[in-house]
A and B are shown apart, each in its own frame.
Chain A
Amino acid sequence: MSRIKSKSLLPDFKLSPTVDQVGIEERTARFQTRSIKSETKVVGLKKVLNMIDLTTLEGKDTPGKVKQMCYKAQHLHDSMPDLPTTAAVCVYPSMVSLAKAELIGSGVKVASVSTAFPSGQAPMEVKISDTKFAVDQGADEIDMVISRGRFHAGDYNFVFDEIAAIKEACGRARLKVILETGELGTLDKVRRASDIAMYAGADFIKTSTGKIAVAATMPVTLVMLEAIKDYYYKTGIMIGMKPAGGISKAKLALHYLVMVRETLGDAWLTNEWFRFGASSLANDVLMQLVKQETGNYQSADYFSID
């Protein structure tokens, strides 16, 4: 709450702007008609790689799997020189210390999910200690989930206070707030949840956990980007955006970049303000990059398993 100095700046979230769904869908369809080729494509694809939060969030995660992923984050495809690293790796709190140790000196950040991810159905104390544990283990970023049940029940104050409390528990770690838009139902609610999250102290807003069928879509992301824009005009504070889940093709990722560029501008086109939460996107981008270099279409057989 420290970010918003005056209480009078806090809006009534019931009055969050409504969204023109048809307009949003038409606008996102336009982004997908952009053709990005040759050198521009290469620059764009390398940017995409550098914006990826390489993610593994499975019950079956082992230390070996996390180690392997951390190695991949730093060595995306060694036979190709001049490739960036990914922005971060995203793991469960129990894997944070291991990931941190693996990534020393690489510049790759460690993001940890918390607050009883993915459901968020746990008491406040548990969520706070979950978060503090991850931060103590060395997490640079915390990905929390909002209480969707409370949100649907109209208990916006609860959702707001919860985010503010977790933000406090984060200390210096940046906070990403997962709205789980697939469970929110309408774009109006996505907009409202975005507003709540930003005013409560989120550094990033993120679409999805990746654990339910409907994950990031372009319309939902555009609504969130518009919310970020309005918040920026009002307060002068930049908020980051992270679509997660369902973005596995290089072409789609480029279309997202176009959308960010045309909604928020160049300032957001760095991994400080925009991320992709993805596990299989990196390989598709790499295949496209190698194709640009060699001229031959690539096979997944020649890339590391992720």
Chain B
Amino acid sequence: MAKTVTKKNVKVLENGNGVAKTNRLSVLKTYKIYIGGKFPRTESGRYYELKDSSGNLLANMCLSSRKDYRNAVVAARGAFGPWADRAAFNRGQILYRIGEMLEGRRAQFVDELMQVGSSKLSAEQEVDLSVDRLIYYAGWCDKYTQIFSSVNPVASAHFNFSVPEPTGVVAAIASESTGVLGLVSVIAPVIAGGNSIIALASETKALCAVSFAEVINSSDVPGGVVNIITGKEDELYKHMSTHMDVNSFIYAGSNAEHFKTIQVNAADTVKRVLDYSKVEWTSEKGQSPYYISDHQETKTTWHPIENIGGSSSKY
């Protein structure tokens, strides 16, 4: 069994990198999941075979279990507080850094997307758009609060204002159709808003997801803020939506039945559930500050004021 795997992988190396076959043993990458700033294997010890469009084995991907997900939630909960307390500007710097790192690895991502079936042109477009999207949300980090905050007119002697605050731990089932753009488009606005996230990557295009975890890991993002697991939506969507320590849920998959169950489960702990299944991530509508505000809670403060002068000014 192992022998055939090696053979096929050598072939992939030829196709992917255009390298002529030599006697050198190829060094194959072990694709692992990303939890709490570390790259563990799945605790279940299970794997699934990821194949390219012509059926050749590309890699053995971790088939994550609910225990992996649970560990990721623990990591995300621990990372949430300090991340939310970071200065907004600093979060922006870190998101920009992710963009820089992704740009530097452009060729690798294009290559990996082509291995799972993209054309060269669409792969390049997808990676470029992903970098641009990170830069876009990096810019929003210290601006969305101003846009979504308000000073509210009230009838009593209070200064009344509302500000958005991050909701906490967000779980996401990423889009099945894109390898990296769907993942970036879900992760970036969530962490820009000070939340932490656990994302289940696209099952059939998971190569890029693991490589993107490596990008995150080298971008000063504190461990646990972003957690990426690979596996099957079928197995995980119930556990993901029943976990009580998750505050918000993104569904970008395409199974209406799953979505319904997620909504029912989420109601037990009043998680908000967001349906991103129809979003076209490549279009203009794939990015907007409203994706940040989706995972914000509004805090309103009533601050008593003394009306010294008896003037009509409210403040």
A12 at the interface (CB under 8 A from B): no
A297 at the interface (CB under 8 A from B): yes
Query: When the two chains form their complex, are residues A297 and B269 in contact, meaning their CB atoms are under 8 A apart?
Result: no
Of listed B242, B243, B244, B245, residue having the most chain A CB within 10 A: B244
What are the 3 A-B residue pairs with the smallest beta carbon separation, nearest first? Answer: A299-B245, A299-B244, A296-B242
A298 at the interface (CB under 8 A from B): yes
Within 8 A of A (CB), among B240-258: 242-245
Question: Which residues of chain B come closer than 8 Å to A295, judged between CB atoms?
Answer: 242
* Interface size, chain A (Cβ < 8 Å): 8
A231 to chain B, nearest CB (A): 40
* Interface size, chain B (Cβ < 8 Å): 9
B73 at the interface (CB under 8 A from A): yes
Known: A297-B245, A301-B245. 18 other contacts (CB 8 A): A295-B242, A296-B242, A296-B243, A296-B244, A296-B268, A297-B73, A297-B239, A297-B242, A297-B243, A297-B244, A298-B244, A299-B243, A299-B244, A299-B245, A299-B269, A300-B245, A301-B244, A302-B244
Question: Which residues of chain A come closer than 8 Å to B106, judged between CB atoms?
Answer: none
B11 to chain A, nearest CB (A): 39
Measuring CB to CB, which residues of chain B are less than 8 angstroms from any residue of chain A?
70, 73, 239, 242-245, 268-269
Within 8 A of B (CB), among A262-301: 295-301
10 A-B pairs in the complex with CB atoms less than 8 angstroms apart: A295-B242, A296-B244, A297-B70, A297-B73, A297-B242, A297-B243, A297-B244, A298-B244, A299-B244, A301-B244
In the complex, which residue of chain A has the Cβ closest to the Cβ of B70? A297
- Give bound CA distance, A298 to B245, whole Å: 6
B168 to chain A, nearest CB (A): 9
B184 to chain A, nearest CB (A): 27
Of listed A295, A296, A298, A300, residue having the most chain B CB within 10 A: A296
B235 to chain A, nearest CB (A): 15
Question: Which residues of chain B come closer than 8 Å to A301, judged between CB atoms?
Answer: 244-245
Question: Which residues of chain A come closer than 8 Å to B268, judged between CB atoms?
Answer: 296
In the complex, which residue of chain A has the Cβ closest to the Cβ of B268? A296
- Give bound CA distance, A298 to B269, whole Å: 10
- Give bound CA distance, A251 to B242, whole Å: 22
Question: Which residues of chain A come closer than 8 Å to B269, judged between CB atoms?
Answer: 299
B28 to chain A, nearest CB (A): 29
In the complex, which residue of chain B has the Cβ closest to the Cβ of A290? B244
- Give bound CA distance, A298 to B243, whole Å: 6
B93 to chain A, nearest CB (A): 31
In the complex, which residue of chain A has the Cβ closest to the Cβ of B244? A299
Question: Which residues of chain A come closer than 8 Å to B242, judged between CB atoms?
Answer: 295-297
Question: Which residues of chain A come closer than 8 Å to B243, judged between CB atoms?
Answer: 296-297, 299
A280 to chain B, nearest CB (A): 14
- Give bound CA distance, A94 to B79, whole Å: 38
A57 to chain B, nearest CB (A): 25
Of listed B242, B245, B268, B269, residue having the most chain A CB within 10 A: B245
A35 to chain B, nearest CB (A): 11
B195 to chain A, nearest CB (A): 15
Question: Which residues of chain A come closer than 8 Å to B245, judged between CB atoms?
Answer: 297-301
- Give bound CA distance, A298 to B77, whole Å: 12
Question: Which residues of chain B come closer than 8 Å to A302, judged between CB atoms?
Answer: 244
- Give bound CA distance, A239 to B267, whole Å: 51
